[in-house]
Amino acid sequence: MTETGQAESKMANSKTALSRSIWIRRLVLALLGLLMGLQIYFVNAGRVMGDPLPMPFGYGAAVVLSGSMEPTYSAGDLLIVKKMDHYQTGDIVVYQSGRSLVVHRIIDMNGETVTTQGDANNAPDEPFAVSQIKGISVGSIPFVGTWFRILKTPAGLMAAFLCTVFLTEVSFRKQSDAGAAELEKLKEEIQRLKQDDGNTKG
């Protein structure tokens, strides 16, 4: 391949890379829009419908607010909650008490009545109906819950959205400027090589 051909190939690759970065940027913004929509749904479900833990696909996320489940879970942990048809003694469940959520372990079941207790607590909770259970804890992410609670507020959600858009835009502009500069250099190189080829033939 001639030097001109190599330069033209590089220019084509640079254009492809620039086009790919544009699509990645669009994908990131689309995902942000989706996450923002889901977060608005969760906030509205909690405030309007009185449901502090919406689970549209059978899964939800809850934040541990105290140390009552130490050492299993700590305050600030984010729990992944799965809705179940049946529960049993020993399950760590998230249940609704008023407009609040409680994360405790089932220590007794009597028909449709459940008794729970925090692993670090000395006394059990008041018995409640099994229908109040939102789901069972199937996993946790340490320390993420605090940030999750902040993001559930309108101000936190908007701040996160604007920050992500800003960082994405800055990154895209830097990559775009670098790509444009590289394309310009390659164009100049191709033009120079063509002139050299013309002079050589002449």
Q: What is the CATH number of the domain that holds 68?
A: 2.10.109.10
Q: What average pLDDT does the chain have?
A: 77
Same domain, 43 and 63: no
**Distance between CA atoms of residues 68 and 41, nearest Å:** 29
Q: Is 99 helix (H, G, I), strand (E, B) or coil?
A: coil
Report yes or no on 201 lying in a domain: no
Report yes or no on 147 lying in a domain: no
Average of per-residue pLDDT across 14-21: 61
pLDDT interval class at 135 (50, 70, 90)? very high
- In the chain, the amino acid numbered 39 is Q
Q: Please name every residue paired with 136 in a beta bridge, in sequence order, or none if there are none.
A: 82, 93
**Distance between CA atoms of residues 102 and 121, nearest Å:** 13
Instruction: For 96-118, write each residue's pLDDT tens digit.
Output: 998 789 999 999 999 999 999 99
How many angstroms separate the first and last alpha carbons of the chain? 21
CB burial of 128-148 (b: ≥16 within 10 Å; e: otherwise) equals: bebeebbbbbeebeeeebeeb
Which DSSP state fits 124? P
Q: Does residue 50 surpass a pLDDT of 70?
A: no
Average of per-residue pLDDT across 49-74: 85
Name the nearest CA neighbour of 89 among 130, 120, 131: 130
Q: Does residue 84 surpass a pLDDT of 60?
A: yes
Residue 77 sits at φ, ψ, to 5 deg, of: -75, 145
How many helices (H) and strands (E) the chain has is answered by: 3, 7
Q: Is the peptide bond before 71 cis (omega within 30 degrees of 0)?
A: yes
Q: Does residue 192 surpass a pLDDT of 60?
A: yes
Report yes or no on 104 lying in a domain: yes
Same domain, 136 and 157: no
Report yes or no on 200 lying in a domain: no
Same domain, 129 and 102: yes
Name the nearest CA neighbour of 137 among 98, 80, 89, 97: 80
Same domain, 68 and 125: yes
Report yes or no on 170 lying in a domain: yes
**Distance between CA atoms of residues 117 and 107, nearest Å:** 7
Higher-confidence position of 2 and 130: 130
